[in-house]
Amino acid sequence: MPRALPYLLLLPATLFLGVFFLYPFLQVAADSALRGGEWTLDNYRRMASHWKFSTAFWNTLLLAALVVPIQLAMALTMASVVTKLEAGRSTLLYIFAIPLGISDLAAGLIWLAIFEQSGFLNSILTTLGVIDQPVLFLSYQNTWVILLAIVLAEVWRATAIMMVIIVAGMGLIPKEYGEAAEVFGASRWQRFTRVTLPMLKPSLQTALILRVILAFEVFAVVVALGGTQFPVLMGETYHWQFTMQDRGVAAAFAMVILGISVAFTLVILRLLHVPKEARV
């Protein structure tokens, strides 16, 4: 009995993940390669020949490329600030962590309140005399403003998760390392780049993988701010599944998102690899 106990405890969770995680992924892979009951690449062909596909694909990658580096820099700054602080540390942490609990849809609506035509940005700019009358920021003529609004909303919403992971990681670095560097005359910046960052690799790895995958899943923020004027992969998946009722093509889109997610996960694992002997 005692030897079987751990397996009995793991069994429900394993079965659950098998049925609702592993099986659906095999199913979606099969769906993407089936059309009318036959194995074919038709779904992929349809997807690739649709005029929105390459826009959606590059928009998704562009967003991730813009958002993730900004978030990394901000999360590192926030984490450094929090670790350095003595008084008010937990209050500040709570405030920085607030967006963690806010859904992407709500984040999109929050930034819509700022960017819409009668929104706060227009109000402030008019009051300051920069513009005479409100500008229609989120229109198809200003795709770059839509992009800017989405980037701001994403940075605002999802920096918190990286910050939390990095703060947790910083807490695991022994203080002696930084002190030793200080004794040898390292400046604050040198201590950060030569001691903290390398020691933080495992946390950075987790944070980046999680964030990059979430960035490829960007959906509700984009719909709230850009409607259909800024196509992204997840939005197209939804469109094909829900509006077009074409599960095959939707599955093909899903496989593309899955593919870039796995590819980037492997790249990050490789770039930030920490040999087992070098871990604390």
* Binding to other proteins, residues 54-73 (CB under 8 A): none
Q: Does residue 81 touch other proteins according to CB under 8 A?
A: yes
Residue closer to other proteins by CB (options 49, 280) is 280
Q: Can you tell me which of 216, 232, 236, 239 binds other proteins, judged by CB under 8 A?
A: 216
Instruction: Choose one: 35-43, 45-53, 56-64, 233-241; the region binding other proteins (CB under 8 A).
Output: 233-241
Q: Can you tell me which of 59, 60, 122, 196 binds other proteins, judged by CB under 8 A?
A: 122
Q: Does residue 24 touch other proteins according to CB under 8 A?
A: yes
Q: Can you tell me which of 40, 123, 190, 193 binds other proteins, judged by CB under 8 A?
A: 123
Q: Does residue 92 touch other proteins according to CB under 8 A?
A: yes
For 137, phi then psi, to 5°, come to -70, -45
Q: Can you tell me which of 67, 68, 79, 165 binds other proteins, judged by CB under 8 A?
A: 165
Give 245-252's long-range contacts (Cβ < 8 A, gap of 24+): 246/46, 247/31, 248/31, 248/32, 248/34, 248/35, 248/42, 248/43, 248/46, 249/43, 249/46, 249/47, 249/50, 251/28, 251/29, 251/31, 251/32, 251/43, 252/32, 252/43, 252/44, 252/46, 252/47
Say how many residues touch other proteins, by CB under 8 A.
94
130-159 binders of other proteins (CB under 8 A): 134, 156
Of 92, 145, 95, nearest to 116 by C-alpha is: 145
